[in-house]
Amino acid sequence: MAVPVIDLSKLEGTERAATMAEIASACEEWGFFQLVNHGIPLDLLDRVKKVCSECYKMEREEGFKDSKAVQLLNDIIDSGEACKTLDDVDWEDVFILQDDNQWPSNPLQFKETMKEYRLELKKLAEKTLNILEDNLGLSKGYIKQTFSGNGSHNPFFGTKVSHYPPCPRPDRVGGLRNHTDAGGLILLFQDDKFGGLQVLKNGQWFDVQPLANTIVINIGDQIEVISNGRYKSALHRVLASANGNRRSIASFYNPALEAVIEPAVMSGGGKIEKAGYPSFVFGDYMEVYAKQKFMDKELRFQSLGIN
């Protein structure tokens, strides 16, 4: 059993129906799948890998050596406490790219390359959302319209650039703790040499295998709500490793903070089925998520009155 790998180019041919069914099954059974032949130019992906790796070496690597995670790990190693682990920090260096925040200035090609990449990823995100809408029986553009507060705001689109440097004691600290993603649709361009990403299915952890030039898609909490639980946001984590510096570039297509999220209305006007989730404002959900990211999502739902 493995995380599904789906050839997106088959949507254009005679295998469209079978490919749509594969995507629907992946959303229902895994909450994760990998896309090949997704339409993003491979030379662009190569440039993204290059500038992000160079950016880490030029602007981030030295700072990570003084990070809280490194200091705390050194402390417990020095203490000699054989069984003590770090359960509330992540062995991760991270920064966020948005249209309106400050970006790294090195290397010189970083800004141009990542701007081009984000444009391509946003198009792929909206194409993927259209596929999900079709499978759910929703009108085209329904999710984007919902995420934009019926056109009053822009959906949020951010890119998280992470590196997981070699860890001297991966038995004592994780790369990224277990969590589901708060938002809508996540598109991940992960390292094709060093693994570590795992997804939970039926109580068992499965590797999301590093495959060259794939884009990993995972379902966020808001798609779970819109689909009324048909699609599930999956618990996932990143393991720390003593080998390699794993690169991870995750882009998030999320609702605007003002958007109202609720189970979707079908094209015919009726609910998908009896609603298992009432309406809530996404900004309210994010306030809860900021405090409870690494707790069970059911607790977050309950705090907003969601059964």
Can you tell me the mean pLDDT for 32-56?
A: 98
Residue 271 has pLDDT above 90, yes or no: no
Question: Quick check: 196 and 209 in contact, CB under 8 A?
Answer: no
Q: Is residue 103 classed exposed, middle or buried when 0-12, 13-18 and 19+ CB atoms within 10 A define those classes?
A: middle
Residue 131 has pLDDT above 90, yes or no: yes
Position 306 confidence tier, pLDDT thresholds 50, 70, 90: low
Helix (H, G, I), strand (E, B) or coil at 107: coil
pLDDT of residue 97: 98
Q: Kindly list the strands in the beta sheet with 204-207, ordered across the sheet, starting from the edge strand earlier in the chain.
A: 176-179, 236-238, 197-201, 204-207
Position 295 confidence tier, pLDDT thresholds 50, 70, 90: confident
Residues 6+ apart with CB under 8 A from 87: 177
Can you tell me the mean pLDDT for 16-21?
A: 98
Residue 267 has pLDDT above 70, yes or no: no
Write out pLDDT tens, residues 183-240.
999 999 999 999 999 999 999 999 999 999 999 999 999 999 999 999 999 999 999 9
Q: Which two tokens stand for residue 304?
A: 């907003």
Residue 307 has pLDDT above 60, yes or no: no
Question: Quick check: 34 and 190 in contact, CB under 8 A?
Answer: no
Higher pLDDT, 304 or 139: 139
Residue 302 has pLDDT above 70, yes or no: yes
Percent of the residues in the chain that have a pLDDT greater than 70, as a whole number: 95
Can you tell me the mean pLDDT for 50-77?
A: 96
Residue 255 has pLDDT above 50, yes or no: yes
pLDDT of residue 274: 63
Residue 76 has pLDDT above 80, yes or no: yes
Higher pLDDT, 7 or 288: 7
Can you tell me the mean pLDDT for 63-92?
A: 91
Tokens 């991870």 locate to 248
Question: Quick check: 179 and 237 in contact, CB under 8 A?
Answer: yes
pLDDT of residue 248: 98
Position 273 confidence tier, pLDDT thresholds 50, 70, 90: low
pLDDT of residue 188: 98
pLDDT of residue 198: 98
Position 278 confidence tier, pLDDT thresholds 50, 70, 90: confident
Report the C-alpha gap between 294 and 179 in whole angstroms. Answer: 5
pLDDT of residue 269: 47
Strand 32-36 and strand 5-7: the pairing is parallel
The DSSP code sequence of 206-273 is: EE----TT-EEEEE-HHHHHHTTTSS-PPPEEE---SSS-EEEEEEEEE--TT-EE-SPBPTTSSBSS
Write out pLDDT tens, residues 138-163.
999 999 999 999 999 999 999 999 99
190 forms beta bridges with 248
Helix (H, G, I), strand (E, B) or coil at 79: helix
